[in-house]
Amino acid sequence: MVLVNDDDAFLSIGDLARHTGLPVKTIRYYADIGLVPPTDRSPAGYRRYDAVALARLDLVRTLRELGIDLATVRQVLDRSLTLSDMATAHAAALDAQIRLLRTRRSVLRAVAALGIDDHEELDLMNRLAHLSAAERQQIIDDYWSSAFEGLDTDPAFADRMRSVSVDLPDDPTPDQVEAWVELAELVQDPSYQARVRQMAEAGSGSSSGPSPAEVALYEAVTELVTPLLTAGVAPASTEGRLVVDQLAPRFAHARGVDDGAGFRRELGEQIALFSDRRVERYWELVGIINGWPTDQVSSGSVAMMEWFAHALTAAADS
């Protein structure tokens, strides 16, 4: 920094421009608004500046390069706002801007990856992606409220469902943006909401959930059905009937009822009600958004249960 102390060492606007790299027009503007007023004027009326003014201008230039608005710069110069407080506030503001820019980048990458050409779809994706964390969570909370409200549902189960938050990262990947947009559309779909409500109604009044014996039976369904499903065997086949004949009596025994066509049909309808691929997709999307490990996102169990439900119905009707 150049030190100027006596009359002969005052700096002109041109000198300030050379020392700071600022245009003369900008320095003159700062003087006109009182941000960096001249220290003195020459006999000819030209503005002159001393070392204090030069230091003040250097600070203004630095703050402006950091993106600080003039009103805040004035507060710092007037000492009504400390540099540290200003830095804290503006660092937080920059963090918010960076998050916004990262989200915009992810939206654009998702649009490019999906080949979106419809402006309404683009607008929807953009609006949903830019919701705040609280607004995103409110959509999910409303979804669960519509499912459980007014029902005698196990409070622990309902609370467990509600406790799973949807945490879109500050720097989401295009896949996470796509997943959030799909999830937001899914949970606001009336037909999906109606199905989840049906499930909640069917399960209301029960606080115990499946018995250990039934849990073991569902594991047996997975073990027996998986190879048949993989091989493309039809549920109404002989192999399907053998699976039903093996498992249906055990389900009936676990529930304390007799096995028969009526029970098999009822069990098939119950399993079909709770085997909706959209519910499985819900958890897949939550897993993608939250960054869960891939093996925790989807078990593929819905396809197996659908197969078993069809096999039960076919056996009951035969």
- Residue 243 and residue 193 in one domain: no
Tally the C-alpha atoms within 13 A of residue 67's C-alpha that lie toward its C-beta. Answer: 8
Picking from 81, 116, 144, the residue at the C-terminal end of a domain is 81
Q: Enumerate the β-bridge partners of residue 47.
A: 41
245 found inside a domain: yes
Range among 208-212, 279-283, 294-298 rated most confident: 279-283
pLDDT of 8 reads 57
164 found inside a domain: yes
- Residue 161 and residue 186 in one domain: yes
Asked whether the predicted pLDDT for residue 205 surpasses 80, the reply is no
- Distance, in Å, from the CA atom of 190 to the CA atom of 211, rounded to the nearest integer, reads 32
Determine the average pLDDT of the residues in 189-202. Answer: 92
**Statement: the pTM of the whole predicted model exceeds 0.85:** no
Determine the average pLDDT of the residues in 206-230. Answer: 84
Cα 172–Cα 174–Cα 177 angle in degrees, nearest 5:
65
Determine the average pLDDT of the residues in 134-162. Answer: 85
- Residue 152 and residue 176 in one domain: yes
Share of the chain above pLDDT 90, in %: 45
Q: Name the pLDDT band for 247 (thresholds 50, 70, 90).
A: very high
pLDDT of 3 reads 42
Picking from 18, 49, 81, the residue at the C-terminal end of a domain is 81
223 found inside a domain: yes
> Do 187 and 283 form a contact (C-beta atoms < 8 A)?
no
42 found inside a domain: yes
More confident residue, 90 or 70: 70
Phi, psi values for residue 269, rounded to 5°: -65, -40
Cα 221–Cα 222–Cα 226 angle in degrees, nearest 5:
115
pLDDT of 1 reads 42
Burial of 317 (C-beta count, 10 Å sphere; 0-12/13-18/19+) = exposed
- Residue 46 and residue 135 in one domain: no
- Distance, in Å, from the CA atom of 240 to the CA atom of 244, rounded to the nearest integer, reads 6
159 found inside a domain: yes
DSSP the chain: -----SGGGPBPHHHHHHHH---HHHHHHHHHTTSS--SEE-TTS-EEB-HHHHHHHHHHHHHHHTT--HHHHHHHHTTSS-HHHHHHHHHHHHHHHHHHHHHHHHHHHHHHHHT---HHHHHHHHHHHTS-HHHHHHHHHHHHHHHHTTS---HHHHHHHHH------SS--HHHHHHHHHHHHHHT-HHHHHHHHHHHHHHTT-SS-S-HHHHHHHHHHHHHHHHHHHTT--TTSHHHHHHHHHHHHHHHHHHTS--SHHHHHHHHHHHHHT--HHHHHHHHHHHHHHT--HHHH---HHHHHHHHHHHHHHHHH-
Asked whether the predicted pLDDT for residue 287 surpasses 90, the reply is yes
Determine the average pLDDT of the residues in 234-240. Answer: 96
Tokens 């706002």 identify what position? 81
Q: Name the pLDDT band for 164 (thresholds 50, 70, 90).
A: confident
- Residue 151 and residue 225 in one domain: no
pLDDT of 155 reads 79
Picking from 199, 218, 233, the residue at the C-terminal end of a domain is 199
Q: How many domains does the chain have?
A: 3
- Residue 71 and residue 121 in one domain: no
Output the average pLDDT for the chain. 86
pLDDT of 298 reads 65
2 found inside a domain: no
pLDDT of 2 reads 43
- Residue 214 and residue 297 in one domain: yes
- Residue 231 and residue 307 in one domain: yes
State the CATH number of the domain containing residue 28: 1.10.1660.10
Q: Which domain holds residue 37?
A: 7-81
93 found inside a domain: no
Determine the average pLDDT of the residues in 27-43. Answer: 92
- Residue 191 and residue 237 in one domain: no
133 found inside a domain: yes
Determine the average pLDDT of the residues in 26-34. Answer: 94
Among candidates 244, 247, 248, which has minimal Cα distance to 233? 244
Q: Within a 10 A sphere around the Cβ of 1, how many other Cβ atoms? A: 8
- Residue 171 and residue 234 in one domain: no
